[in-house]
Chain A
Amino acid sequence: MTDLLDFWIEHLPSLLDGLWVSLAVTGASLAFGIPLGLVLALAVQGKSKILRSLAITVVEVGRGAPALILLQFVYFGLPNAGLALDSFPSAVIALAWCTGAYTSEIIRAGLEAVPHGQREAATAIGLTGLDALRFVVLPQALRVSVPALLGFAILMLQASSLCFAIALPELVSQAYLIGSTTFRYMAILVLAGLLYAAICIPATIAVAALERRLGKHA
């Protein structure tokens, strides 16, 4: 047992380095992906036919293809098209694409939850379309979407573990590296799992509690 603890203490710093990279990738993907999701949600509902079909394609591919394939497509595929990127930007592009596709559906559900009278009232008091969206519809729609978006953010942290496949030194890559040099896969993977659980379990419980609280006033 003390042997295991010594092993963990020895390797915890490099796992924490990996966790930091995981969190950075997740944060960056969400920071680019959620605004993309908003744009896609608006484009899917928009009047322009070309924009609409383009947005639907982006969403369906982002949701239909596995995140692992998106990552490998960006990292191993785009160099063929003359765009060679490091693993971090590749990961952010692929996961932001995935985030945009999924969150566009979440935000669209939020937009649909805003009563139609709100738009009519906004038009009636003379707001332009953009102002109605910005000051009346979006604040309400995003509030409805918040629990689902937070739940998705937790899934995204888990999805960042797939960046192992494109040689990004995140948590799983670090654990695998230590495992392959010490041959103590079990011990190091348990520690990696505990680190994920230490973030994801409290976050899941908190999101569920928030959802219940918001649901009460709906």
Chain B
Amino acid sequence: MTADMFWTLASGVPWTIGLTAVSLLIGVLLGIPLCALRMSRILALNLAAQAVILTLRAIPPIVWLFFIFFGLGSSVIELSPFQAGAVGLGLITAANMAEIYRGAMTAIHPGQWEAAHALGFTTWHRFADVIAPQLFRVALPTAAGYAIGLLKDTAIASTIGVAEVAFQASHVSQRSFRGLDVYAFAGLLYILLSLPIAWAARWADLHLRARVAR
């Protein structure tokens, strides 16, 4: 590993972090309505949400990214590699977050709904002031685990040309014929990047977990 190779690989880090952050944001937000639809009592909405979630999760990310970048890109709407990567990974994240929220919902004590109801809260306030704050606390550890998985999944965006770590690694290794140390370092870089997420999640969990009613 020369210093030059090191800096080329490191130049991919902001792209990896950026793509992870944007996809996570899309997923965290879009997951909320998707989860609401999935738990809807109207059968048609419920089934439609289930179908969307299953489809997003059943098809490998690389197929989604190719579909958005090459498929939609060649005929419908042209996106930059980063945009295509963010849309694809964001949608997959939304499906997974919807399932994570749904799982967390079961951990919330039914008495919380009843109490909010008894206090005369409107549906919106019941959700926004009572349920959602607890829901996010319960969902946090699972969501953090998923975020680490997502960080690693952004490597897939190298196949559509996002200039992130895996992309730089294959670039450098092709130029230098030193795949062994280049890829070993790239792998290490991903492990190092995932450590702060794990620490932050553990810290947040310790401090927020106390405030969930049982």
The bracket for how many chain B residues form the interface is: 35 or more
Q: Which residue of B63, B153, B177, B186 contacts A193 across the interface (Cβ within 8 Å)?
A: B63
B148 nearest in chain A by CB position? A64
Which residues in B have their C-beta under 8 angstroms from that of A192? 63
Say yes or no: A189-B66 contact (C-beta < 8 A), given A60-B191, A196-B58, A200-B59. Answer: yes
Contact B71 A185 (CB under 8 A): yes
Interface size counted on chain A using CB atoms at 8 A: 40
A83 nearest in chain B by CB position? B180
Contact B62 A164 (CB under 8 A): yes
A167 within 8 A of B: no
Interface 1/0s, chain A 62-90, versus B by CB < 8 A? 00111111101100111111000000000
Q: Which residue of B66, B183, B184 contacts A172 across the interface (Cβ within 8 Å)?
A: B66
Interface 1/0s, chain A 183-218, versus B by CB < 8 A? 101100110110011001100110000000000000
B103 within 8 A of A: no
State the CA gap A79–B64 with chains docked (Å): 31
Contact B54 A201 (CB under 8 A): yes
Which residues in B have their C-beta under 8 angstroms from that of A70? 187
A4 within 8 A of B: no
A34 within 8 A of B: no
Q: Which residue of A61, A67, A72 contacts B191 across the interface (Cβ within 8 Å)?
A: A61
B209 within 8 A of A: no
Task: Give the dominant DSSP class at B's interface.
Answer: helix
Which residues in A have their C-beta under 8 angstroms from that of B58? 158, 196-197, 200-201, 204
Which residues in A have their C-beta under 8 angstroms from that of B73? 185
Contact B190 A65 (CB under 8 A): yes
B126 within 8 A of A: no
B210 to chain A, nearest CB (A): 26
State the CA gap A189–B84 with chains docked (Å): 15
Which residues in B have their C-beta under 8 angstroms from that of A164? 62, 159
Q: Which residue of A66, A78, A79, A183 contacts B190 across the interface (Cβ within 8 Å)?
A: A66
Task: Give the dominant DSSP class at A's interface.
Answer: helix
State the CA gap A93–B59 with chains docked (Å): 23
A183 nearest in chain B by CB position? B74
State the CA gap A168–B72 with chains docked (Å): 25
Say yes or no: A76-B173 contact (C-beta < 8 A), given A64-B190, A65-B190, A189-B71. Answer: yes
Say yes or no: A193-B59 contact (C-beta < 8 A), given A80-B178, A183-B74. Answer: yes
A33 to chain B, nearest CB (A): 17
A158 nearest in chain B by CB position? B60
Which residues in B have their C-beta under 8 angstroms from that of A165? 158-159, 170
Contact B184 A77 (CB under 8 A): yes
State the CA gap A176–B160 with chains docked (Å): 12
Contact B70 A185 (CB under 8 A): yes
Which residues in B have their C-beta under 8 angstroms from that of A35? none
Q: List 25 A-B contacts (CB under 8 A).
A: A60-B191, A66-B153, A66-B155, A66-B190, A68-B158, A68-B166, A69-B155, A78-B180, A158-B59, A161-B62, A164-B159, A172-B66, A185-B66, A185-B74, A186-B70, A189-B63, A190-B67, A193-B59, A193-B67, A196-B60, A197-B54, A197-B59, A200-B57, A204-B54, A204-B57
Which A residues are closer than 8 A to B by beta carbons? 60-61, 64-70, 72-73, 76-81, 158-159, 161-162, 164-165, 172, 175-176, 179, 183, 185-186, 189-190, 192-193, 196-197, 200-201, 204-205
| Closest CB pairs A-B (n = 3) | A65-B187, A186-B71, A76-B179
